[in-house]
Amino acid sequence: MSKTHNFELVIFGGTGDLVTRKLIPSLYSAHFHGNLPANSRIIALGRKSLTKEEYCQYALDKAKLAKVEIDTRQWEKFAKLLDYQILEAGNLPDFEALKSNINTDINNIFYLSTAPNLFKTICENLAKVGLNHGKSRLVLEKPLGHDLKTAKDINDFVATYFKEDQIFRIDHYLGKESVQNLMAIRFGNTLFEALWRRQWISSIQITIAENLGVGTRGDFYNETGALRDMLQNHLLQLLCIVAMEPPFALDADTVRNEKLKVLQSLKPLHEDSVLNDVVSGQYKSGIDNGEPVRGYVEEDNVPESSTTETFVSLKAEIQNWRWAGVPFYLRTGKRLSHQVAEIVVQFKDIPCKIFPFSANNFANRLIIRLQPEETVQLYFLAKRPGDTNELQPVYLDLDFNKMFTNERRTGGYERLLLDVIRGKLTLFVRRDEQEAAWQWVEPILTTWKKLNITPKLYGAGTWGPAASSALLARDGVSWHEELE
């Protein structure tokens, strides 16, 4: 782990939910484990009239609500690093006051945890007061834009004031320990590499399922939807890690170059393929853990007439020598049966069956589960004890939490914040990556709008609309949980 130098971290949107629920607790955790220099500072910016002491108490209360374990003595030490300043994004004198309050001789990190429509104003005002200097870094939260045009517009504007190697486009999934382990499994072992290609793999499924609804984010989510919120970034990033060629090193550009090649190799979507290979859904009322739950249009701050999708699944193909002809099935949604993120690699069946009773639909699957538990399961067939040749599916199960019982699991935001502080770009999305992802999903948005396609309803607590299962059934495939 590289050394962490002194820094000044300035967080725009400092009283927001993401900051108080994720960022501040992650920074506290880094401090607790000795990874933040004592001479560094964290300055939260917001419109609320709060003193430093009031903000520290506010952040502590929010952290406790998020069920973060707090050591009182360590929090008191951490609170000495915290400061608070009132700032309006469009008020230049507030930025001048900010500059007078920070040390520009060390790394200045500006974290924009605000609505994307404020990114331009903030970057422009930072530049006007000279805070876009050589030691400054800019962290941009998703969603970065609403489509390809707006994403390019923001990127063009930000590039006016900051160089590409100063910009950290954050995708918290890339900081998860389990996602890092996915890269380690692929590129740290020879076991799977020979089989990791179209000759031996028949299909791959990538799922990020949530059992919760939109909660208090109804107004934000209604303008975003599952495609923009999850598929365009998290799912496509996982796809890249699963499908990319082995990089020759783990430096930022080498890894991101390989991920970009995957995005550029995706078979383009057109109106017909969107209609045939993409399914959207919206959850209606149902049962979750034995309790009745509301439908999406009954949630707070969601219009009754909303046609925003809370579920999307699709079939993708990668047109290169390694993956040509292998379908990748991607799926994400809210109010689904379980909270899970997993990758299922289905290997091809044996060419000649000599065991007549084999349950071949279970044979030879690799399941890499990213959450809630972090496991790798390898399914294969073995002979049942007795005097017959009957086979049954069995699996090898590797549970990383049990394997590394004495090791601390670093949270995604904590890992990424430390990488920003250390200036490491590998786990952040480069501009061309991001725009390639937007370019690929854009035909879906265009087709939905042009043909006025509305999402299919599915009951809360299920695995989404029936059309999602039918999408795979056309290829003779089933979602992983349907085989259990």
How remote is the C-alpha of 10 from its chain's centroid?
Answer: 23
Structural contact between residues 283 and 460, judged by C-beta atoms closer than 8 angstroms: yes
Alpha helices in 22-137 (DSSP H): 24-32, 52-65, 72-79, 92-100, 119-128
pTM of the predicted model as reported, rounded to 2 decimal places: 0.93
Give me the pLDDT at residue 129, please.
97
- pLDDT for 357 equals 59
Residue 448 has what pLDDT?
Answer: 98
pLDDT at 2: 54
Q: Compute the distance between CA of residue 334 and CA of residue 203 in angstroms, rounded to an integer.
A: 24
Q: Domains of the chain by range and CATH?
A: 7-141 (3.40.50.720), 174-411+431-483 (3.30.360.10)
Identify which of 392, 340, 391, 349 has the alpha carbon closest to the alpha carbon of residue 367.
340
| Model pLDDT for residues 220-239, shown as the tens digit of each residue | 899 999 999 999 999 999 99
pLDDT of residue 68: 84
pLDDT given for residue 67 in this prediction: 83
What is the predicted pLDDT for the residue at 356? 64
User: At a CB cut-off of 8 Å and minimum separation 6, what does 217 contact?
Assistant: none
Query: Which residues, in sequence order, are CB contacts of 43 under 8 Å at separation 6+?
Result: 8, 9, 10, 11, 14, 83, 84, 85, 98, 101, 102
Q: What is the pLDDT of residues 132-164, one digit of tens each?
A: 999 999 999 887 889 999 999 999 999 999 999
Weakly modelled stretches of the chain, pLDDT under 70? 1-4, 356-362, 484
The residues, any chain, with a CB within 8 Å of residue 325's CB and separated by 6 or more, are: 198, 317
Q: Is the dihedral of CA 28, 33, 35, 37 positive or negative?
A: positive
Catalytic residues: 234
